[in-house]
A = this chain, B = another copy of it.
Amino acid sequence: MIVTVTPNPALDVSYQVDRLRPGHTHRIGTVHERAGGKGFNVSRVLTDLGRDTIAIGPVGGVLGDSVRADLDDAGIRHALLPVSAPTRMTITVVATSAPEGEEATLFTEPGGPVADDDWRRLHDLVQSHLETAKVLVCSGSLPPGAPVDCYADLVRLGHAHAIPVLVDAGGPALRQACAAGADVVKPNAAELAEAVGGDDPVAGAELLRAEGAGAVVVSLGVDGMIAVTGDGRWRAEPPYAVAGNPTGAGDAAVAALATGLAEAQPWPQRLRAAVAWSSAAVAAPVAGSVDQTVLADVRDQVRLTNLDLTEPARPT
């Protein structure tokens, strides 16, 4: 089982407009709501693809009730911690006639401050699900007032139970997770550059490994991903760009990487899967879902390059 932790869940509300016009009133047709937060998206992808997972996170207030109801509706197994801080909302505005290259517009609320005692209770809740866990995934932003070492703390907790831990985060939480020995971290290029500076993702990934991370996977958007690991360094690229909604593509990649960890797959296989699942997520209209047709088509066409060889590897 893959345990996901989402410290800062949200109710994701999606609006579709023709064009987003600042200063104007937009009358919305249909409103889509779903449980959001990166760890929840990871569990949603895993559930969609038939993998065993449980989603853990704090929820509060009326939006917390909506998050719980949506996870129930989607059949996503969960263990939610009731807290007093109300669950936040994120608004995604998709413009169907947006100018070429304009992505969705997001408004992300910060989330309510989670109390110290809540963190201890969340830690205990995670611990109670580690007996049957194969991998622990910690994913997404931290709410205001969260201890900056909370992901590092969960890394240590996982290791105390001999469970590998994957962390998808940026900023100080990423650095501390690396220092605690996170088995895999998955920054995107911007998060990596913010953490270690420079614009070479391989060099940046090496720096995070030097700080303690077991393996570093850097997502590069349409250019695919690189993995810098103790077993070697690879780059994987999708065979073609998939049109759609890139929100949640990183979460699908994390779901693939966590599955690879759980099944002790060799790294080339993990990285191919991460790129394929990510492309399939872009093709699906909402974050946390994957398009199975695209997944089947892309899976065997991902181009893999061994960065430690001069010649690119042939597609298998």
Contacts and interface: CB of A to CB of B under 8 A. Distances in A.
Interface of A: 13, 15, 17, 19-29, 31, 62-63, 65-66, 88-89, 91, 93, 95, 98, 101-110
Contact of A108 (B19, B27, B88, B106): B27
Nearest to A20: B22
B110 A27 contact: yes
A88 B30 CA distance: 11
Nearest to A31: B109
Main SS class of interface, A: mixed
- The residue among A28, A95, A101 with the most chain B CB atoms within 10 A of its own CB is A28
Contacts of A27: 108, 110
A41 to B, nearest CB: 16
Given A22-B95, A23-B98, A28-B109, 5 more contacts: A13-B89, A22-B98, A25-B108, A28-B107, A62-B62
17 contacts: A15-B107, A19-B22, A20-B105, A21-B105, A22-B22, A22-B98, A22-B102, A23-B103, A23-B105, A24-B105, A25-B105, A25-B106, A28-B107, A28-B108, A28-B110, A31-B89, A62-B65
A12 B211 CA distance: 46
Contacts of A102: 22-23
Contact of A62 (B15, B22, B63, B107): B63
A77 to B, nearest CB: 23
A107 B91 contact: yes
Contacts of A15: 107
A78 B122 CA distance: 40
A15 B93 CA distance: 14
A48 to B, nearest CB: 25
A235 B209 CA distance: 74
Contacts of A24: 105-106
A25 B92 CA distance: 9
B89 A107 contact: no
Nearest to A29: B110
Contacts of A105: 20-26
Given A89-B13, A91-B91, A26 B107 contact: yes
A93 B108 CA distance: 12
Contacts of A31: 88-89, 109-110
Nearest to A27: B108
What 5 A-B pairs have minimum CB-CB distances, sorted nearest first?
Answer: A62-B62, A23-B102, A25-B106, A20-B22, A26-B107
Nearest to A95: B22
A101 B23 CA distance: 9
- The residue among A22, A102, A103, A109 with the most chain B CB atoms within 10 A of its own CB is A22
A108 B26 contact: yes
Nearest to A64: B62
Contact of A66 (B62, B91, B103, B110): B62
Contacts of A89: 13, 31
A241 to B, nearest CB: 17
